[in-house]
Amino acid sequence: MSTLILLTLAGAVLGSRFKVLMAIPLIAVAVMFAAVVAVIKDESFGLAIFTMALVAAALQFGYLFGAVVRFGLAAARAPRERPEHARGIPHPAP
């Protein structure tokens, strides 16, 4: 359980700093690592597949969360334009 939390946080850091192409190799490496651990622990095939899916999902969920936070912060920092009528600029006559 703590491994999934750490993977989610790692995905959030990636999502807040990098583009999606950075997440693809990381997910591949993490899934391969989970497969090696499953073989070493002599887990069943179904449990190994389930573990690999959880690892990939945790990283992807974390990446999505980090990306949403990054774009939310960028939107909050963006300057807001006031409409023309609020700036005192007269409208052209029709």
pLDDT (tens digit per residue) in 16-61: 888 888 888 989 999 999 999 999 999 999 999 999 999 999 999 9
What percent of the chain shows pLDDT beyond 70?
86
- The two structure tokens encoding residue 54: 């959880």
The pLDDT value recorded for residue 61 is 92
The mean pLDDT of the chain is 85
pTM above 0.75, yes or no: no
* Of 50, 48, 65, residue with least CA distance to 5: 65
- Annotated domain spans of the chain: 2-74
Kindly report the length of the chain. 94
How far apart are alpha carbons 26 and 54 in whole angstroms?
14
